[in-house]
Amino acid sequence: MHPSHDPLTRWLAAERDGLTDEAEELLLELFEADALPRLAPPAGFADRVLARVAVEAAVERAAVPVQPGFSLFRRGWLRWVIALCLLATGLSVAWLPQTVAVFAGLWSPAGFLQSSIRAVLDAIRWMASLADVGQTLLAVAEAVALSLARPQVMVIALVCLVVSVTSFRFLRGLVSRDRSWAYVDPI
């Protein structure tokens, strides 16, 4: 085949001469003819890559120091504390029957009934103290209601309410209007 009839050579010549339409047609012909050389990796390429990755991973694992896990028995003072606790537990077995007898005497049905009655009485006293607080608040509310029953006091209270609501609205508008990202320092 003559070099000028080669699709690759003709396409390159058309590109060089600036013939864009003809170059597009020749490029399409080049792809349809499957005239481009096939590029394939050499034999054993994948095996070499995987072997290299495995070696690098092994080197990285060897370079990282082993971080020991948490162990209670690593510290000396903690070993002594655990040993003393075990010793105290072992010695307490001798006093276990007397201790159980004492606690068994405390937990009799009469003792349980007495504790229950005491708890109910404490709850009633607590409710009574809440009622006293409620009565005090009721007395204050009655005093305020009696003073607001007068027309002069009601007008003064309403004027104060209107003034406070109006000033809150103006203050809120002032704060909202002056708020801007321009005054924030850059980070």
85-96, pLDDT tens digit by residue?
999 888 888 888
Above pLDDT 90, what percent of the chain?
14
What's phi and psi for 23, nearest 5 deg?
-65, -40
Instruction: Give the rounded distance of the alpha carbon of 67 from its chain centre.
Output: 27
Instruction: Give the rounded distance of the alpha carbon of 64 from its chain centre.
Output: 30
- 1 pLDDT higher than 50: no
CA triple 64-69-71, angle to 5 deg:
150
Whole-model pTM? Answer: 0.28
DSSP state at residue 74? G
pLDDT digits (tens, 9 = 90+) for 56-77: 888 777 776 655 666 666 777 8
Instruction: Give the rounded distance of the alpha carbon of 63 from its chain centre.
Output: 33
CA triple 97-103-105, angle to 5 deg:
105
| pLDDT given for residue 40 in this prediction | 79
Write the CB contacts of 74 (distance below 8 Å, at least 6 apart in sequence): 68
* Residue 109 or residue 26, greater confidence: 26
d(Cα 98, Cα 105) in Å, to the nearest integer?
A: 11
